[in-house]
Structure 1
Amino acid sequence: MPYSYEPHYFEDFEEGQEFESVGRTVTETDFVVHSMVSGDWTELHTNRHYADDEYFGERVAHGPMTFILATGFVYRCGFLERTVLAFLGMNYMDIPAPVNMGDTISLDMEVIETKDLSSRDDSGLVIIDTTMTNQEGTVVFEGDMKFLIKSRE
């Protein structure tokens, strides 16, 4: 599967269509920048000495940071470039395992629904099921993302 895709309009999406992201390694900078932007300086994420003695035995990514990394992969693939009008939410989201500093993560995506909207003639609904894994194949995030996507003119 290629890692770079052309922008897709609503009509280009089909149920069962799959996309795969590149991988990226989560760094100290990711942790710090997320804390700075969110204001969440919880010690499980930011204090190595404290976190080493807690449940995970090391610092772990913020749950919202894990979600943000997943959405970043979707946009980085390029198929929503200049065609997405809105992120409309999710029907479900799970974070079954932590993302650790130094993990290399990637995202697999599958279109699970496309829907014409009677209220709009310029766009449609596309729901993409996502699964993010680390370098060991451990699932660290799952969820479906709902997007409002432009129709072709």
Structure 2
Amino acid sequence: MPYSYRPHHFEDFEAGQTFESVGRTVTESDFTMHSMFTGDWTELHSNAEYADDQEFGERVAHGPMTFVLATGFVYRCGFLERTVVAFLGMNYMDIPAPVKMDDTISLDMEVTETKELSSREDAGLVTIDTEMTNQHDETVFQGDMKFLVKRDDGE
């Protein structure tokens, strides 16, 4: 199956390597789908009248939704397609500003570490620092994502 991007194996990653996602506009459908999937109908995210009178003056994305959007950008870039074994977690995650409906967001990524694992001969650890910004270049998400990535078996 041909791809328009090149999946990376563990050996293809090196510290300092960068990736940049495309942008995408967050819609009301995104808010609704996240609420439906998670069951989180908190009024700050789902009730326009309520949210208008709150701190941000409008509905804002759920914090977990912001994280999910960031992970979606990582996978959409394609470098982990068919090579990722597992998402292993994060050392830190910050959401310094809210994602609002109709924001256009994108993600910048930098490989900060690759690590051989004595427990795995078939994969290694790749840590990617991420920063998601909106159309005003305001940071709305930061965090490092740790992935277990397959080694190239020569196929």
TM-score by length of structure 2 reads 0.96
Question: Displacement, 1:124?
Answer: 0.1
Q: May I ask how many residue pairs the two structures share in their alignment?
A: 150
Residue matched to 2:16: 16
Residue matched to 1:52: 52
Unaligned segments of structure 2, at least 5 residues: none
Distance of 2:119 and 2:42 partners within structure 1: 43
Unaligned segments of structure 1, at least 5 residues: none
Question: Displacement, 1:112?
Answer: 0.0
Distance of 1:18 and 1:74 partners within structure 2: 12
Question: Displacement, 1:83?
Answer: 0.1
Distance of 1:42 and 1:19 partners within structure 2: 34
Fraction of identical pairs, as percent: 78
Q: Helix, strand or coil for the counterpart of 1:31? A: helix
TM-score by length of structure 1 reads 0.97
**Corresponding letter in the other structure for 2:89:** G
Residue matched to 1:101: 101
CA RMSD of aligned residues (A): 0.6
Question: Displacement, 1:5?
Answer: 3.4
Displaced runs of 4 or more, over 3 A: none
What are the superposed Cα offsets for residues 51-110 of structure 1, whole Å, 9 maximum, x if unpaired? 001000000000000000000000000000000000000000000000000000000000
